[in-house]
């Protein structure tokens, strides 16, 4: 089910308009995505690092997706690329890992009231402790000495820990949600070793040529994410971000890139971050000039 919600946009609140087939677009509004943080790119003075951040300008909206792996370097790149963090509509953090969240303190220093969408994260991003641990804390055992009772036996109604950004305005994404007209966030859950049960959110927005999909690390699997995206709109124009193909053989990687083109009919690829060098090579070979080199500092034009 896709929901719509009241969200904060900058310093003011707005009520979402009815769902539309594509993002409303003004002739003079930018239609582009700028990569603010990654470990590769054309020679420049920009800082490279392990992590990811992308800045979307589309339909008059300005969206920050992830905040890179080093706060000072993220801040430097944002300034060098003339990204005004005071004017963003919202921030989306794909998942909890530091290579996607390190620049958030800098963002909040510039825009303390901005809405930050996150996945549901037990005891993370100011969200409550999960039910298994909560039940353990609340359980009453008569034989326990009083000085060993959690909270002296008076457990608070709400159990949660502060995040490193205690004053931030976090909103958890639990189901596919249209957060602004034509812009959607949805969550998928990883079942992969090392990140099992971790939720990750992805961004999609409508364009006249289909969805643009922005992913963080794709820990749940890029195929699972794409299968969720096409439930919003079956046409996918382009995919940006990290695909995390660390466990695939070269043959499996080649097969996956072919399916990007033939199964999901994805017109353009702009993979980055943890996608992998062999996968980049195969996208260059298979997609040709439909593969966008999306390293740090790259500005990719989007269909208006």
pLDDT digits (tens, 9 = 90+) for 11-46: 333 323 323 334 554 557 899 999 999 999 999 999
Q: pLDDT exceeding 70 applies to what percent of the chain?
A: 91
Per-residue pLDDT tens for 262-286? 999 999 999 999 999 999 999 999 9
- Per DSSP, the residues of the chain read --EE--EEETTEEEPPPPP-SS----TTS--EEEEEE-S--SSSSSPP-SS-EEEEEETTEEEEE---S-HHHHHHHHHHTT--GGG-SEEE--SS-HHHHTTHHHHHHH-TT-EEEEE--TTSTTPBPPHHHHHHHH---TTS-GGGSGGGG---SS-B---SSTTSEEEEE-S-EEEETTEEEEEEE--STTSTT-EEEEEEEEETTEEEEEES--TT-HHHHHHHHTTT-S-EEEEEEE---TT--HHHHHHHHHHHHHTS---EEEEEGGG-HHHHHHHHHHHGGGB----TT-EEE---
Question: Which range among 63-72, 133-142, 184-193 has the greatest average pLDDT?
Answer: 63-72
pLDDT at residue 9, rounded to an integer: 36
CATH topology of domain 8-14+28-126+162-301: Metallo-beta-lactamase; Chain A (3.60.15)
- pTM summary value: 0.88
pLDDT grade for 4, boundaries at 50, 70 and 90: low
Per-residue pLDDT tens for 190-223? 998 888 888 999 999 999 999 999 999 999 999 9
Per-residue pLDDT tens for 90-122? 999 999 999 999 999 999 999 999 999 999 987
Q: CA nearest 126: which of 97, 96, 165?
A: 165
3, pLDDT greater than 90: no
Q: What are phi and psi of 85, to 5 degrees?
A: -70, -15
Cα separation, 239 vs 300, whole angstroms = 11
* CATH 3.60.15.10 domain extents, the chain: 8-14+28-126+162-301
Average pLDDT for 280-293:
97
123, pLDDT greater than 70: yes
160, pLDDT greater than 70: yes
10, pLDDT greater than 80: no
pLDDT at residue 12, rounded to an integer: 33
Per-residue pLDDT tens for 225-241? 999 999 999 999 999 99
Range of lowest pLDDT (7-11, 68-72, 237-241): 7-11
Cα separation, 11 vs 16, whole angstroms = 16
Range of lowest pLDDT (56-65, 125-134, 220-229): 125-134
7, pLDDT greater than 80: no
> Is the CB of residue 102 less than 8 Å from the CB of residue 69?
yes
pLDDT at residue 252, rounded to an integer: 97
182, pLDDT greater than 50: yes
Average pLDDT for 248-254:
97
Average pLDDT for 154-163:
86
Mean pLDDT, the chain, whole residue set: 90
């Amino acid at each position: 089910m896709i929901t719509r919600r009241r969200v904060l946009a900058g310093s003011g609140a707005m009520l979402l308009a009815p769902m539309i087939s594509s993002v409303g677009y003004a002739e003079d509004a930018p239609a582009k995505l700028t990569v603010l943080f990654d470990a590769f790119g054309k020679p420049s003075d920009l800082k490279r690092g392990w992590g990811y951040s992308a800045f979307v300008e589309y339909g008059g909206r300005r969206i920050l997706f992830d905040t890179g792996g080093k706060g000072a370097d993220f801040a430097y790149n944002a300034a060098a690329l003339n990204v005004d963090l005071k004017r963003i509509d919202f921030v989306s953090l794909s998942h909890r890992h530091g290579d996607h969240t390190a620049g958030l303190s800098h963002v909040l220093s510039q825009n303390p009231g901005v809405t930050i969408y996150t996945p549901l994260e037990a005891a993370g991003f100011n969200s409550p402790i999960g039910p298994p641990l909560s039940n353990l804390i609340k359980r009453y055992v008569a034989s326990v000495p009083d000085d060993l009772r959690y909270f002296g036996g008076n457990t608070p109604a709400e159990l949660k820990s502060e995040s490193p950004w205690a004053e931030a305005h976090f909103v958890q994404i639990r189901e596919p949600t249209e957060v602004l007209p034509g812009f959607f966030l949805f969550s998928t859950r990883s079942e992969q070793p090392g990140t099992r049960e971790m939720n990750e959110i992805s961004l999609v927005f409508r364009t006249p040529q289909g969805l643009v999909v922005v992913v963080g690390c794709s820990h749940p699997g890029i195929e699972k994410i794409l299968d969720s995206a096409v439930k919003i709109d079956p046409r996918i124009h382009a995919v940006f971000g990290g695909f995390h193909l660390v466990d695939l053989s070269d043959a499996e990687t080649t097969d996956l890139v072919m399916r990007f083109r033939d199964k999901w009919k994805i017109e353009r690829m702009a993979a980055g971050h943890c996608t992998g060098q062999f996968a980049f090579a195969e996208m260059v070979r298979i997609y040709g000039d439909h593969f966008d080199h999306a390293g740090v500092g790259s500005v990719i034009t989007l269909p208006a």
